[in-house]
Each structure stands twice: as C-alpha cells, then as structure tokens.
Amino acid sequence: MIPSLVHLQDILVWRARHSVLDVPSLDVLPNEVLAVIGPNGAGKSTLLRVISLLERPSRGNVHFAGQPVSGSLLRHRRRMALVFQEPLLLDTTVEGNVCTGLSLRGVRGDEQRRRADEWLARFGIAGLRRRSARSLSGGEAQRTSLARAMVLEPELLLLDEPFASLDAPTRESLIDDLDTVLTANRVATVFVTHDRAEALRLGDRIAVLMSGKLRQLGSPADVFSSPVDGEVAAFVGVETIVPGRIRDAASGLAAVEVDGKIIETASELAPGSDVLVCLRPEDVVLSEAGSATPSSARNHLRATVKRVRPAGPYVRVELDAGFTIVAHVTKQSVEDLGIEPGTDTLATFKATAVHLIPHRRA
C-alpha cells in the first residue's frame, strides 16, 4: 500500500452550530491528482482550507507525510501551495508576484529570478514579467497565480476552482497547460471543482462531496459509471434515475421492472430487490420507431419524444417510455430522425450501460 502524503482523520468542521464538513478519513496519495467535486456549498473549499492548514477543524487531525501536523503550521504550509478561484495577485509586477513566496522563504534574489524565469516560461507569460499585475487579463492573472504556486516546488498543490471565472477558450488552454505541468512534475494535487468535465480531464481519482460529507471516492470510471446513490448519480450527469424492482436474475443478468417495462442489466442483486436504475444520456441511442437494426444492445424501448432542447454541443431529448428516459444526441441525428415532441422513436441501450443502486422504497 502506498503511504499517503496527506491523511485526514475524523475531520469535523462546525460553523454556527452546523456541521459544514464531516470527513472520517481521506488520503491524498503522492503523485496523484485528486479531484474533489460537488455542488456549491458542499464543503469543498472548507476541505481545501483544512488540508492547507488555513482553518483548524473543530475535531480531527491532519497528517502530512505520515506525521500529525502540530506545532509550527508555517513549516508545513511552506511545503504546500494553494491557488484560489480568483488569482489574488499582489499590487506589483508579474515577476514580483511569482517571486513572493520565494522571497518569504528567504531564497536569494538570483535564485528567485532563475526559478521565476522557468515557471513564467512554462505558463507562457515570460513576456509579461515587467507588467503590473493589475493590468492582466483573467487568463494571464490565473497563469501568474499558478506560476506563483509552482515556483515554490510544493509537495502538495491545492487548486480551488482555478478555472471557474475564466471564459471557455481561456479555460481550455489553461487546463491543457496545467495538465502538461502536472503530468511532467507529478506533484500531488487536490483539485476542487464543480465542473465534471474538468474533474474527468485532470483527476486520477475523484471524491464526491455533498452537504459536507464524502459520498464517494474512486476512479473516474467508478464514480461516473457506478455512483453510489441517486444524488451522486444526478451530480455526475446521470439523467435517467428511476426506481425499479428486480423480477428475475440469472447468470449475472437481471431483469428489472420499471413502471411495467423490463430493462435488462448486468447485476448480482437478488430478485425482489428494490433499486434505482441509472442510465447516462450519452449511452442511449435513438432510431426510427419501426427500425429493427440488429445490435448487441439488450434493451430496446418504444418511446414518445416529450421535449427537445439544445445542451451545448448536443441536443437533450426527453422521452416517455412509460417512465422518463433522457438521451443526448447530435443535431444531425435530430434532423435525420425528424425528432420533435410527439414523434415515436426507439431508445436502445446496452445492459452494461445500466447501473443499479440498491434502494429502499419510501
């Protein structure tokens, strides 16, 4: 087992008589990028402040490199670097900002400049070194903030939604650059975001935080394909979440009844079990109602289109198949199939695309 760089033990943070963070245990492993996702107010930033030793938990301990953090917090803080959503630059030049942490550590001037040169170049802002930080664009400012953190050569990098306030093209290019840096340097990173796509892109593991509690922790595939409950499923982008009951199960294949329709899925749950049936919208394929194209998919449901609306690069189609199914299809498919409210269609999905969550009916 790999020893963790950071271990949170029995962390509880109370504010105004409410628990805002309750994490019995969480490890950050060396070299990994741990993406922490969750809705606004889930406690993500509080978690980051606890890890960065900027907030003392009401209860519990933070262990860094195998040792419980005690005594001088400054000594431990100087092994980490934190980047906020806002760049929070000081009123000096870009180079002055990048050198601030080094200066606080008493690093010599020539060494400061050498290290600053390297990181200014790596984040593509070497030409801005003499510019006032106040005159930078949002993207340039966040690049400066990231360079200011990385120049410290931290053992642990903490990122608190660093791309949230950037426009889409700037965000894309900065995520690319950060990905390159993290891949090359393999610095252990905790990356807080509410954006699932960012988490999938950068995270080696994903932690889902909701209402201050750690609800799921695992690989991106685990979290996105096998969420542990309905709330997590909804947050990670599962749009079809309906209650059902297993009618039959044999050889690892289960038949689940959902509002009178049978859905086949891979499951070891016993017949009679109540479940939530989860299906990601990108796993649903639509075809003409009368078509019978052979495929390996085990589920083919006749459905009527209820609603069609654009969803970024896709079109979100809501279907009534006796229960509601949501599919994401391309604009071209919508045109080719003549999809509009009231038309009949055939919704097809594989048994392996269906995820079941044991569920107790109210």
Partner 1 sequence: MDLIWDGVTEALDLIFSGNSYVYEVTFTSLLVSGSATLIALALGLSIASFLAFRAPPGRTLALSAFNAGMALPPVAVGLLVSIMLWRTGPLGQLHLLYSREAIVIAQAVIATPVIAALSTAALQGLNPNLRLQVLALGASPWQAALLLFREARLSLLAAAMAGFGAAISEVGATIMVGGNIKGSTRTLTSAIVLEVQQGDFETAIALSFILLAVILVIVALFTVLQQRRIPD
Binding site for partner 1 (CB under 8 A): 49, 52, 54, 74, 77-78, 80-82, 84, 86, 88, 90-93, 100-101, 104-105, 131-132, 134-135, 148, 152, 158
Name the minimum Å distance from CB 333 to partner 1: 45
- CB nearer to partner 1: give 105 or 331: 105
- CB nearer to partner 1: give 88 or 197: 88
- Asked if 146 and 139 touch (Cβ cutoff 8 Å), the reply is no
Within the chain, strands assigned E span 6-15, 18-28, 33-37, 59-64, 67-68, 80-83, 156-160, 188-193, 205-210, 213-218, 240-250, 253-258, 261-266, 274-279, 285-288, 299-311, 314-320, 324-329, 344-349, 354-358
Residue listed under structure tokens 């919704």: 347
Name the minimum Å distance from CB 57 to partner 1: 16
Angle, helix 94-104 to helix 109-122, in steps of 10 degrees? 130
Residue 360 phi, psi (nearest 5): -95, 125
Joined tokens for residue 176: 């690319």
Name the minimum Å distance from CB 61 to partner 1: 20
- CB nearer to partner 1: give 111 or 320: 111
Name the minimum Å distance from CB 315 to partner 1: 39
d(CA 269, CA 273): 7
- CB nearer to partner 1: give 133 or 246: 133
Name the minimum Å distance from CB 158 to partner 1: 8
- How is residue 269 annotated by DSSP? P
- CB nearer to partner 1: give 135 or 183: 135
d(CA 245, CA 154): 51
Residue 67 CB-density burial (10 A; 0-12 exposed, 13-18 middle, 19+ buried): exposed
- CB nearer to partner 1: give 128 or 339: 128
d(CA 282, CA 299): 15
Name the minimum Å distance from CB 62 to partner 1: 14
